Amino acid sequence: MDVAHFEIDDPRWRDALSRLRHDFYHLPEYVRLDAGWNHAQPRAFLATAGSAELFIPYLLRRCDGLFPEASVAGNVCDVVSPYGYPGLLLSDAGREPAFAREAMQRLSETLREQGVCSAFFRMHPLLSDGLPELFPENFFTASSETVAMDLTLDEAQLWKGIRDGHQWTINKCRKLGFEALMVPFREYIVRFMEIYEETMDRVQARDSYYFGREYFAKLAEMPERVHCCVVEFEGQQAAACVFFECGGIVQAHLGGTKSEFLNKSPFHLLLHYVAGWAKSRGNRYLHLGGGVGGSNDRLLHFKRGFSPLLFPFSTLRLVTDEEKYRELTTLRAQAANVPVEEFLRRDFFPAYRAPL
């Protein structure tokens, strides 16, 4: 088996994607953008044995900023997926337990050699079919479910899959005069950011959900893959959302609704419109994503109102260097003034990055 870690401009990156079914999150230009936002290094891992291949993009982050006064953190790094649903990609020939397990073992070993103590990967719900059967039990951590609309259905079937209450809201928006349309994202960045940031303020989102103008401007440089839908009412933008399109999958990325229009729920109309738009372009799925977690997940409940089609979402959590992982977690626990074992029992991974 041949294995390699390479950077964003290495031709092996695009070469691998040309042979593997992939999504927008695997593209080097997206990984570069997300790495810049996260102050990380964009990398990818590729394992090959004949026609068997395993590919996974990742961000390499330094840990010294977490513990500036601790020498142990000076040369330690960790790995995380780019934002979204990248996961690992396997060729058809690579969907054998022997190859897949050896490839992941080599990934862990080579990351440890580079000073990496942990790796956290988000799997791709639509591209992970059959993956759990290739690995030992509990290799992946089940997280939740995500919702997708099956665009191979005809319009009547798609409409039938939408919850009655959502149908009523969509029709109400139409009668009131709300109109959904696709617009050039480059021209709507400022208006989109106003809607998005107002939405994040309203839901008291974490700081990591606020993206700057430069981030959106760079997304707009990919107009063949990045699209924006807005809902307008009497010349005002009531709702907006950015979508990614790649490999037959349209992904809902970031969006929101102006507070003054919240009681009319124009985002219902927006998603229904985009489903028709995506279907007309020959796509297979409109992936709405998941929720925010918890037993009373209102976001997931909202999305499930558009389709009964659910996909399991899981993560992969690797501790590649037990000693360094324990040392960093001990430092984090001391900062929080709690026993280290309590930090290790928490669901947050890696434990040493858990909020204090």
**Amino acid identity of 94?**
G
Same domain, 170 and 304: yes
Domain of residue 40, residue span: 2-137
Indicate the residue among 77, 112, 137 that finishes a domain: 137
Same domain, 193 and 59: no
Q: What is the pLDDT of residue 294?
A: 57
Q: Exposed, middle or buried: residue 18 (CB in 10 Å: 0-12, 13-18, 19+)?
A: exposed
Same domain, 87 and 21: yes
What number is the average pLDDT over the span 274-278? 98
Same domain, 121 and 199: no
Same domain, 93 and 215: no
C-alpha to C-alpha distance for 344 and 352, rounded to whole angstroms: 9
Domain with residue 301: its CATH number is 3.40.630.30
Same domain, 123 and 190: no
Token pair 């900062």 in the structure block, residue: 335
Same domain, 121 and 152: no
In a domain, 328, yes or no: no
Q: What residues does 53 pair with on adjacent strands?
A: 48
Q: What is the pLDDT of residue 117?
A: 97
Same domain, 155 and 132: no
pTM: predicted TM-score of the whole model, two decimal places? 0.94
What number is the average pLDDT over the span 273-285? 98
In a domain, 54, yes or no: yes
Q: What is the pLDDT of residue 297?
A: 85
Q: What is the pLDDT of residue 67?
A: 82
pLDDT band, residue 73 (cuts 50/70/90): low
Indicate the residue among 297, 312, 327 that finishes a domain: 312
Q: What is the pLDDT of residue 69?
A: 75
Same domain, 48 and 120: yes
In a domain, 107, yes or no: yes
What is the DSSP code string of 149-177? EETTS-HHHHHHTS-HHHHHHHHHHHHHT
In a domain, 317, yes or no: no
Structural domains counted in the chain: 2
Percent of the chain's residues with pLDDT above 90? 86
Same domain, 90 and 222: no
